[in-house]
Homo-oligomer: A and B are copies of this chain.
Amino acid sequence: MIKVALIEDNTTIRDGLAALINGTTGYSCVGAFSDCESFLSKLETLSVDVVLMDIGLPGMSGIDGIVRAKKIKPELNILMLTVYEDSQTVFKALCAGACGYLVKKTPPSRLLEAIKDAFEGGAPMSSLIARQVITVFQQTQGAATLTPDHELSAREKEVMTSLAEGNNYQEIADRLFISVDTVRHHIRNIYRKLHVHSQSEAVAKAIRKGII
Interface residues, chain A, with chain B CB atoms under 8 Å away: 63, 67, 70-71, 74, 94-97, 99-100, 117, 121-128, 130-131, 133-134, 136-138, 140-142, 145-146, 148, 163-166, 168, 196-204, 207-208
Contacts and interface: CB of A to CB of B under 8 A. Distances in A.
Contacts of A71: 146
A134 B131 contact: no
Contact of A198 (B100, B141, B168): B168
Interface of A is mostly: helix
Given A145-B97, A201-B165, A130 B128 contact: no
Contacts of A123: 127-128, 130-131, 133-134
B121 A128 contact: yes
27 contacts: A63-B145, A74-B146, A94-B137, A95-B142, A96-B142, A96-B145, A96-B146, A99-B131, A100-B127, A117-B127, A121-B131, A122-B128, A123-B134, A124-B127, A124-B130, A125-B127, A136-B137, A137-B137, A140-B140, A140-B141, A166-B196, A166-B204, A200-B200, A200-B203, A203-B204, A207-B207, A207-B208
A28 to B, nearest CB: 22
A99 B99 CA distance: 19
Contacts of A100: 127, 130-131
Contacts of A131: 99-100, 121-123
Nearest to A148: B67
Given A166-B198, A207-B204, A122 B133 contact: no
Contacts of A202: 200
A198 B142 CA distance: 27
A141 B100 CA distance: 16
A116 to B, nearest CB: 10
A87 to B, nearest CB: 11
Given A67-B146, A95-B137, 20 more contacts: A67-B145, A70-B146, A74-B146, A96-B145, A99-B134, A121-B131, A122-B131, A123-B131, A123-B134, A130-B130, A137-B137, A140-B140, A140-B141, A164-B201, A164-B203, A164-B204, A166-B197, A200-B200, A203-B203, A204-B207
